[in-house]
Structure 1
């Protein structure tokens, strides 16, 4: 009787681990390294959607001033002074299909926001795409270890 119970317990544990792995493959939550390897973005659920916040920069300080890197390309002078670390990149990112979310993404490289789609392409791969009209470009982020 005890052996049957242990076996049943192992089977249930196996199913739970498999279900958790399948869920994780579709879940973008976590920390992602950008394609260029110059930033890490923490993706988390917030307000019924997703938030993506810069949590690490390869070069966190401005080389000219020695001060923390700021959103200097932003056309709004007040926003141009905010630090890049802590900057929220995703806006209104909502489910748009299996393993896919749509909303807006902020690009600190040019200070503009774009229509965007992100999709989980595996346990360690996130496709990030931004579009202006019908012209789209994107990159692949990898899960940070």
Structure 2
């Protein structure tokens, strides 16, 4: 019985801390490594929306030593822009319950833009779902936090 009281007391003391972290829309801010481990994206806030830019690439340069560029972009004028520093997450709105929706994700590998939603599974795990049309038709990548509030 004493053990149960201790657990209940701990739950009462720490539950508000856990809940406040879960309901903090800025908890997504930081640096995240994609599921393949090929890149890292820094998520930040501009105004009341969330954005992300590529800050690290496992293979940052082409074989000739020049920085990798956005070669698969459908717009020829943008194909020479560097991948490092490229804003690939745009316009996410915090929706509560550790969810960010109404955003877009640009995938440099294909040169395609997709609708996107993000969900914080735990403090260090972010599910990023890109899709066309409805979320049912898409793909989820699991990102791991590298740095908090970078």
Which residues in structure 2 correspond to 1:115-126 (within 5 Å)? 115-126=115-126
Which residue matches 1:41?
Answer: 41
TM-aligned CA distance change 1:21 to 1:98, over 3 Å: closer
Contact 1:117 1:128 survives alignment (8 Å): yes
1:107 is displaced (CA, Å) by: 0.7
- RMSD value over aligned CA atoms? 2.1
SS at match of 1:96: strand
1:25 is displaced (CA, Å) by: 8.1
Q: Distance in 1 between matches of 2:20 and 2:33?
A: 22
SS at match of 2:71: coil
SS at match of 2:21: helix
Q: Distance in 1 between matches of 2:23 and 2:145?
A: 11
Higher radius of gyration, 1 or 2: 1
Deviations 1:111-132 (A, max 9, x none): 1110100111101100000001
Q: Distance in 1 between matches of 2:108 and 2:85?
A: 12
Q: Distance in 2 between matches of 1:96 and 1:35?
A: 24
Which residue matches 2:141?
Answer: 139
Deviations 1:35-75 (A, max 9, x none): 01110110111121111110000000012x32100011001
Q: Distance in 2 between matches of 1:55 and 1:21?
A: 30
Which residue matches 1:83?
Answer: 82
Which residue matches 1:69?
Answer: 68
Q: Distance in 2 between matches of 1:83 and 1:72?
A: 9
1:20 is displaced (CA, Å) by: 8.1
| TM-score in terms of structure 2 length | 0.78
Unaligned residue ranges in structure 2 (runs of 5+): 1-12
Number of residue pairs the alignment of both structures matches: 129
1:22 is displaced (CA, Å) by: 4.5
Which residue matches 1:104?
Answer: 104
SS at match of 1:68: coil
Which residues in structure 2 correspond to 1:4-15 (within 5 Å)? none
1:78 is displaced (CA, Å) by: 1.2
